[in-house]
Amino acid sequence: MTDAQPKIWVINGPNLNLLGQREPHIYGHQTLKDIETGLMDQGQGLGLRVECFHNNHEGGLIDLIHSAPAAGVKWIIINAGAYTHTSIALRDALAGVALPYIEVHLSNVHAREAFRHQSYLSEKAAGIIVGLGSEGYRLALEYISRKR
């Protein structure tokens, strides 16, 4: 792995650390660690430097996003969990750093409760992948590898 490889941050928000045990009929049986390990392996194969983060706190996610440009990040893949539906601050942070990002949700949020149909992040996202389980992150990475 070299520094010439584009750096991609995969950011997971609240409660996604519970994957594997959390409502597996909705979110599947893979743990977050399984998903992250798979993405880092995939990144290696694609020549991308994938770094994964999880934070349960809105401010922590915002601070992380703010630090992305100085860290040399080229793209962000983000599953902001429930903050997707509530956080104007997270939307502003992503807009503020002006990095392209892909919004991912494991479940099909549009087939669930009405409050999950609204996303503060979607409008400014390069793309959105919902309902394909952990495959969504993989597809996002594949897309980025073709765009760079």
4 in Cβ contact with 18 (< 8 Å): no
- Closest-CB residue for ligand DQA? 81
> At CB < 8 A and 24+ separation, what contacts does 36-44 make?
36/10, 38/134, 38/138, 39/10, 39/137, 39/138, 39/141, 42/138, 42/141, 42/142, 43/8, 43/141, 44/1
Site string for ligand DQA, 63-92 (x = CB under 6 A): ----------------x-xx-x--------
Structure tokens at 52: 């994964």
Burial (CB < 10 A; 0-12, 13-18, 19+), residue 53, is middle
Shortest spacing between CB 77 and ligand DQA, in angstroms: 12
Is 25 one of the catalytic residues? no
Judged by beta carbon, residue 49 or residue 106, the one nearer ligand DQA is 106
Q: How far is the CB of 84 from ligand DQA (least distance, A)?
A: 6
Total Cβ atoms within 10 A of residue 122: 14
Q: Is 111 in the site for ligand DQA (CB under 6 A)?
A: no
Note if 66 is an active site residue. no
Residue 122 touching ligand DQA (CB under 6 A): no
Q: Of the two residues 68 and 130, which places its CB atom closer to ligand DQA in the complex?
A: 130
**Exactly one of 54, 101, 105, 120 is catalytic; which is it?**
105
Residue type, 33: K
Cβ proximity to ligand DQA: between 6 and 12 the closer is: 12
Q: What angle do the packed helices 135-147 and 32-46 form, to 10 degrees?
A: 20
Contact residues toward ligand DQA (CB under 6 A) are 15, 79, 81-82, 84, 105-107, 109, 116
The residues assigned a catalytic role are 27, 105
